[in-house]
Amino acid sequence: MENALASIRRGALIDALRNSNALSERYGMSLTEGQMQALADGCAAALADTGRIEFGAGVLPKLIEALCDSPYVDRVSYCDTLLAVQELFYYFKSESGDAFADDELVEALERAFNGPAQGATEYVAGLSPEELYRLWLNEED
Amino acid sequence: MDEQRAPEAQGKRGSQSVQSEPDASGALSLLMEGLSGAERALLQERLWALLARQVARFTQGDATSLPVERAETLYESACFTLRCWLDAERLPPRALLRGDLDDALRAGWTLLEGRVREAKTRYAEALRGAPPYASRALRDTLRGIAPFFARYDWRLAAQEIPAEIDYPLCHPVPEAYRGVQYVGEYLRRLLIEELLLARASAPRAEALLRRYYGEIEEPLVNLYEPVAACAIGLALAGQDPRALTITPEDAAALTARLNGLAAEEEQVGSVAATLRAAAETAADALALPMGEDRLYLAEWAESLWPRARASLRGGTMENGALDGDAAGSDALRGVFAF
């Protein structure tokens, strides 16, 4: 039964990724079917690692919308960047005790990635939730 | 960080002696009784979709993911609420395969909200009805239930029991009971016990309890059991149940009666009717109302028999003489509190 539910959720995620291609293609970015499967696997692994459950298509479409026009992303690094940022999303979500709303965290990650990190996901990974929050807050001001 | 965004239920399951840890699989199995494999799959899919809508509703669309533990609590809460709704409507689990599950859940919430109100009324009665010689355990439990009414969340954690309940009942609430179902049933049973104690003479009941337990303030002991058993014993001995003292003469008569019952059991197979009649006599003497109070007492009377029979078979009671030093006599003292 759990497999059936996971299959339903995975299907919803893949559908959402296909739809996201319509947006990202405007910026020259698109995901292949294989990359979509890899992102779905990465999503499942990140959720398992952080002890979380996700409903519906999840956060990946929002991450795509936030990062597909980044100056630090190209066709080659696009999927790997999404995989890494997706993992960071769930990490910070849990580490912050769910203090960030989804949209806030996506925005914070986008600002960190396109700002001080200059496209280095390792830099973003080195931030504390508080630093990420301050980054998001300062930008708000 | 904005602390108001922290999960609402953190710390909610702090101290509670009647734990109900999230167990979504257990809650789910209650909804799956009698369903085929395909029906189970369909119901689980519908419940999953319901949970997703719940998450969206309660996070106001802020989050699409939750910690597993939190999701399990929400899921279990929904399953428990739906089970209560099915039971109240006398519907089979199959009813959840059609119609709007959100409507069913809302109806379940309304039901639980009403049960909280009922439990609150019972709680007020239980506070008023506590005997003057109430033990620390009973007083602490009455205090420990109070937070339940402020902290119980029938929408997000309907299965949880945010209360400190230690006082043991004569007939414990089944462990399968959860949330307000448990607290309401606990209070219902406690009120029954308090009423019998209230109808008995307080000095006599207290004296009996101190004779029986030695000390009643600190130990985690039930106050109803010895008083009810003594009243039943006196009824069996043909004495006034209100006396709450079994004299040596009463004990001899009781032993003779019990020996007769043991023989009767060998011949006709059951002594339940006799024990229930004794409970009825005791209930009449204590002016207990008809209904659940008498049923509760009758069930206690029946439950005394295995111990009474065992003490009779101890070998010291066959001649009907009560010997304070005899093991069988001691055992019988333990059963009927003399």
DSSP label at B223?
S
Return all residues near B93 (Cβ < 8 A) that are at least 6 apart: B31, B32, B33, B34, B35, B43, B86
Hunting for tokens 């060998």 — which residue is that?
Answer: B266
Contact B251, B322 (CB under 8 A): yes
Supply the DSSP string of B271-303, one letter for each residue. Answer: -HHHHHHHHHHHHHHTTPPSSHHHHHHHHHHHH
Give which of A52, A62, A92 to mutate to test B binding, by max B Cβ within 10 Å.
A52
**Comparing C-alpha atoms, which of B228, B243, B239 is closest to residue B302?**
B228
Distance from CA of B294 to the nearest CA of A (A): 47
pLDDT over 60 (residue B319): no
Is the Cβ of A76 closer than 8 Å to some Cβ of chain B?
no
What whole-number percentage of chain A has pLDDT above 70? 94
Q: Which of the residues B54, B64, B79 would you substitute to probe the A interface, choosing the one with the greatest number of A C-beta atoms within 10 Å? A: B64
If one counts every other C-beta atom within 10 angstroms of the C-beta of residue A75, the result is 9
User: What is the least distance, in Å, from the CA of B56 to any CA of chain A?
Assistant: 9
CA quadruple B110, B189, B122, B160: dihedral sign: negative
Q: At what angle do helices A2-24 and A60-67 cross, to 10 degrees?
A: 20
Q: Which residue of B has its CA nearest to A1?
A: B41
With b for 16 or more beta-carbon neighbours within 10 A and e for fewer, the B208-230 pattern comes to bbeebbeebeeeebbbbbbbbbb
**d(C-alpha B23, C-alpha A86), whole Å:** 29
> How far is it, in rounded angstroms, from Cα B109 to Cα B153?
10
* Residue with tokens 């009377």, as numbered in its chain: B301
Share of chain A above pLDDT 90, in %: 82
Residue B158 has pLDDT above 90, yes or no: yes
pLDDT value at B73 more than 80: yes
pLDDT value at residue B195 = 98
Q: Which residue of A has its CA nearest to B56?
A: A55
Considering only B76-80, B315-319, B326-330, which range has the smallest mean pLDDT? B315-319
Shortest distance, CA B308 to any CA of chain A (angstroms): 51
Express as a percent the part of chain B with pLDDT over 70. 86
For residue B5, is pLDDT > 70? no
Counts for chain B of helices (H) and strands (E), in that order = 12, 1
pLDDT tens-digit map of B184-231: 999 999 999 999 999 999 999 999 999 999 988 888 999 999 999 999
Would you give the end-to-end CA distance of chain A in angstroms?
47
Q: Comparing C-alpha atoms, which of B240, B242, B266, B265 is closest to residue B253? A: B240
Per-residue pLDDT, B84? 94
Would an 8 Å CB–CB cutoff place A5 in contact with chain B?
yes
Residue B326 has pLDDT above 80, yes or no: no
The Cα–Cα gap between B251 and B113 comes to 50
The answer to whether the Cβ–Cβ distance between B63 and A103 falls below 8 Å is no
For the stretch B80-106, pLDDT in tens is 999 999 999 999 999 999 989 999 999
- Find the CB nearest B64 among A4, A56, A130: A56
What value does the mean pLDDT take over residues B127-133? 95
Phi, psi of A14 (to 5 degrees): -60, -40
What ipTM did this prediction achieve? 0.84
CB contact under 8 A, B66 and A52: yes
Interface membership of A49 toward B (CB under 8 Å)? no
Residue matched to tokens 């398992």: A48
Interchain pair A98, B7: CB under 8 A: yes
Are B136 and B217 in contact by the 8 Å Cβ rule? The answer is: yes
Among A3-12, A23-32, B44-53, the range scoring the smallest mean pLDDT is A3-12
pLDDT of residue A117: 96
pLDDT of residue A12 exceeding 60, the answer is yes
Residues of A in contact with B4 (CB under 8 A): none
On average, the pLDDT of chain B sits at 85
pTM here is 0.81
Contact (CB<8Å) A94/B5: no
Q: What is the pLDDT of residues B13-46, one digit of tens each?
A: 333 333 233 345 566 777 888 889 899 989 988 9
Confidence of residue A4 (pLDDT cuts 50, 70, 90): low
Range scoring the smallest mean pLDDT among B30-39, B168-177, B309-318: B309-318
Q: A30-39, B20-29, B95-104, B149-158: which has the minimum mean pLDDT?
A: B20-29
Residue B160 predicted with pLDDT over 80: yes
Residue A93, chain B, CB below 8 Å: the answer is yes
Q: How confident is the model at residue B6 (pLDDT cuts 50, 70, 90)?
A: very low
Residues A72-83 have a mean pLDDT of 96
Of the candidates B85, B96, B6, which has an alpha carbon nearest to the alpha carbon of residue B44? B96
Q: Which helix (H) or strand (E) holds B117?
A: helix B101-129
- What pLDDT was estimated at residue B313? 78
Interface test with B, best of A88, A98, A107, A134 (most B CBs within 10 A): A98
Q: What is the mean pLDDT of residues B312-318?
A: 59
Please judge whether A55 and B3 are an interchain contact, meaning their C-beta atoms are less than 8 angstroms apart.
no
What is residue A48's predicted lDDT score, i.e. its pLDDT? 93
Compute the distance between CA of residue B77 and CA of residue B55 in angstroms, rounded to an integer: 12
Average pLDDT (B36-63) is: 87
Which residue is it, tokens 């009758």?
A: B298
C-alpha B300/C-alpha A73 separation (Å) is: 76
Is residue B60 predicted with pLDDT exceeding 60?
yes
Which of A127, A35, A128, A133 is CA-nearest to residue A81? A35
**Selected residue of A55, A96, A100, A105 to mutate for chain B interface (largest B Cβ count, 10 A):** A55
Q: Which is more confidently placed, B222 or B52?
A: B222
Per-residue confidence band for B330, with pLDDT thresholds at 50, 70 and 90: low
State the pLDDT confidence band at B8, using cuts at 50, 70 and 90. very low
CA B319 to chain centre: 39
pLDDT of B316 strictly over 70: no
Contact A101 B69 (CB under 8 A): no
